[in-house]
């Protein structure tokens, strides 16, 4: 304990600390304001942002508005119209209820609210950084418009934790998508810098779910409607052939509230088990309905998580009913996107690389001369060097080779591109389209050629030549998915380097690929000439060497 003793924090400091629990990033502000609009009975909501929300967030709705006399209370902590006592927490049927959103936002931004109750005069309140609110009469339509400017202007350290503008905008898009699923009868429009990003007309739940999942998933989807032991389930399920490489096409709602739920994600994965490969994730929108007393929505400050009283039964309900629905339809797997043999591509691209071509230096001084014995479990190259046993991870090894080649080509004259005889047209979700805006200037230098082909589609006309062995559309989607990740070991790297990493990762030979002698020889030769042949960019080793002396000890040939 400090020698100065315990003191009560000043109100301004306490408010900024409390704000950190609710306002993590611009998308947090969008979420809280949208929830307030929905609780106010809005039927149309317009969201406008600038600089991915750090400069401006404005949410306008046609809801019931706030009486002018209540405006100061709206910006006081724990002031809410949603609950009256602790007992009410057991039966929450609104999105907001903590009474922290508006004061938390006003503590770290410049906020202005104009609101009008039907039949009354409009009123305005302005607060900057949690200071004393200023009230004044105003003009405006029925409903409420809240403008949030200069987010974190008085806590600059918080800005350093924000991701790139493209990623922050993508999270805003995901936030709007989640709440659009929760309220399909409400029309949502999102604009960024005057450009329309999303438009959802009022519609039914199944139509909204398919709109959010995207045209490709929606084309192969089935409706879910079932009653389990403890929960009623509704939703839209992607068929197995619509499975994705990321969980970005999974949406969960509990009693109409968008949530993150590891339990529901595990249940969904279990339901699809044996129907899709282990490295794919089902695409689905799942709404779980149950008595309010069976769910605790007060677990997380941002109300993004829930806890179930009877979690095992909820898990069983989801697994059983999702699997029953899937087995009730014809699950015909479509033919995979056309692609050449990645192993053949490895032989063509890696075997041709010689020191004289300048792509790789002479063999690394510490790399052993390996005599190849064969392949183990179609995953590891088995070899011998100086009496030692050598195991090479074929995927990690090829990742290293491709990554260094992509960077070397990019630094010289740009990565060699392979044009597609038949361009691939891709329907992209709004989050992916937002990321593509930031990525567009970097794509040609790494061998990708992409052009707009409509409001929500792009046409892929070329991919890096080293990736010619992979399905081009699948490769490009997988790379976008990697770059959209918030966390992970590569999040701090330059975007071009991360694109090279993603391309190498999804192009390299994989566990399960059968390699012939010529292919193995080409791969080991290229790896020997790599700048760092001993690890891939994930930090995993490419090679493990078991010394002869250790082998002799294992077999009791040496004391």
d(CA 126, CA 102): 12
In contact, 110 and 140? CB cutoff 8 Å: no
**Domain 205-327 of CATH type 3.40.50.620:** no
In contact, 29 and 105? CB cutoff 8 Å: yes
pLDDT of residue 536: 85
d(CA 388, CA 481): 40
Look at residue 518 and give its three-state secondary structure.
helix
Torsion of CA 352, 353, 354, 358, to 10 degrees: 140
CATH class label, 11-200: alpha beta
The Cβ of residue 326 has, within 10 Å, a number of other Cβ atoms equal to 19
- In terms of Cβ atoms closer than 10 Å to its own Cβ (0-12, 13-18, 19+), residue 310 is middle
CATH class label, 342-546: alpha beta
pLDDT of residue 542: 92
Of 276, 302, 527, nearest in space to 398 by CA? 527
pLDDT of residue 341: 63
Q: Report the DSSP pairing between strands 44-50 and 187-192.
A: parallel
Residues comprising the chain, all counted: 559
Which sequence spans correspond to the domains of the chain? 11-200, 205-327, 342-546
Please name every residue paired with 59 in a beta bridge, in sequence order, or none if there are none. Answer: 47, 146
pLDDT of residue 322: 95
d(CA 252, CA 266): 12
pLDDT of residue 360: 42
pLDDT of residue 347: 60
Distance (Å) of CA 348 to CA 351, 353, 465, 469: 6, 9, 11, 10
pLDDT, block means (10 residues), the chain with 559 residues: 52 50 89 94 97 97 92 73 46 57 91 94 91 87 96 90 90 96 97 92 97 89 95 95 88 94 94 83 96 76 75 95 83 52 60 40 78 95 94 95 93 91 89 86 94 88 92 92 63 78 94 93 93 84 91 83
Task: Please list the alpha-helical segments (H only) found in 23-93.
Answer: 26-39, 71-74
pLDDT of residue 335: 44
pLDDT of residue 97: 47
d(CA 338, CA 86): 59
Look at residue 78 and give its three-state secondary structure.
coil
pLDDT of residue 173: 94
In contact, 511 and 394? CB cutoff 8 Å: yes
């Amino acid at each position: 304990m400090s020698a100065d003793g315990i003191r009560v924090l000043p109100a301004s400091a306490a408010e900024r600390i409390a704000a950190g629990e609710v306002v993590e990033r611009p998308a947090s502000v969008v979420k809280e304001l949208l929830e307030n609009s929905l609780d106010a009975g809005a039927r149309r909501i317009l969201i406008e942002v600038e600089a991915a929300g750090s400069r401006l967030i404005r949410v306008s709705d046609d809801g019931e508005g706030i009486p002018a006399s209540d405006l100061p209370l709206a910006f006081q902590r724990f002031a809410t119209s949603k609950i009256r006592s602790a007992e009410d927490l057991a039966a929450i049927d609104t999105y907001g209820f903590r009474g922290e959103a508006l004061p938390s936002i006003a503590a770290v931004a410049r906020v202005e609210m104009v609101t009008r109750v039907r039949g009354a005069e409009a009123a305005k309140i302005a607060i900057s950084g949690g200071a004393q609110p200023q009230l004044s009469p105003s003009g405006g339509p029925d409903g409420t418009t809240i403008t949030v400017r200069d987010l974190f202007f008085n806590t600059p350290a918080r800005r350093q934790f924000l991701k790139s503008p493209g990623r922050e905008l993508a999270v805003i898009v995901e936030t709007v998508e989640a709440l659009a699923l929760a309220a399909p009868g409400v029309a949502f429009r999102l604009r960024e810098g005057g450009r329309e990003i999303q438009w959802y007309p009022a519609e039914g739940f199944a139509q909204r779910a398919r709109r959010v999942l995207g045209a490709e998933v929606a084309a192969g989807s089935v409706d879910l409607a079932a009653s389990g032991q403890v929960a009623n389930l509704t939703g839209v399920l992607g068929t197995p052939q619509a499975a994705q490489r990321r969980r970005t096409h999974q949406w969960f709602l509990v009693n109409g509230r968008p949530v993150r739920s590891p339990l529901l994600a595990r249940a969904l994965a279990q339901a699809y088990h044996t129907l899709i490969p282990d490295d794919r994730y089902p695409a689905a929108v799942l709404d779980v309905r149950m008595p309010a007393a069976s769910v605790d929505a007060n677990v997380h400050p941002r109300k993004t998580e829930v806890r179930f009283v009877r979690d095992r039964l909820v898990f069983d309900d989801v697994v059983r009913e999702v699997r029953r629905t899937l087995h009730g339809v014809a699950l015909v797997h479509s033919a995979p996107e056309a692609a050449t043999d990645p192993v053949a591509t490895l032989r063509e691209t890696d075997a041709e690389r010689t020191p004289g071509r300048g792509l790789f230096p002479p063999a690394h001084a510490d790399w052993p001369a390996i005599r190849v014995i064969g392949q183990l479990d179609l995953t590891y190259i088995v070899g011998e060097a100086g009496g030692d046993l050598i195991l090479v991870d074929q995927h990690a090894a090829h990742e290293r080779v491709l990554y260094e080649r992509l960077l070397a080509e990019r630094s010289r004259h740009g990565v060699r591109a392979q044009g597609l005889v038949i361009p691939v047209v891709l329907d992209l979700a709004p989050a992916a389209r937002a990321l593509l805006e930031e990525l567009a200037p970097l794509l040609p230098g790494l061998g990708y050629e992409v052009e707009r082909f409509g409001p929500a589609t792009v046409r892929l006309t070329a991919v890096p030549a080293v990736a010619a062995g992979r399905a081009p559309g699948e490769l490009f989607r997988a790379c976008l998915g990697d770059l959209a990740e918030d966390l992970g070991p590569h999040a701090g790297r330059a975007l071009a380097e991360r694109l090279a990493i993603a391309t190498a990762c999804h192009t390299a030979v994989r566990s399960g690929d059968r390699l012939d002698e010529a292919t193995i020889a080409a791969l080991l030769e290229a790896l020997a000439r790599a700048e760092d042949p001993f690890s891939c960019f994930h930090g995993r080793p490419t090679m493990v060497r078991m010394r002869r002396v250790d082998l002799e000890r294992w077999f009791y040939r040496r004391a």
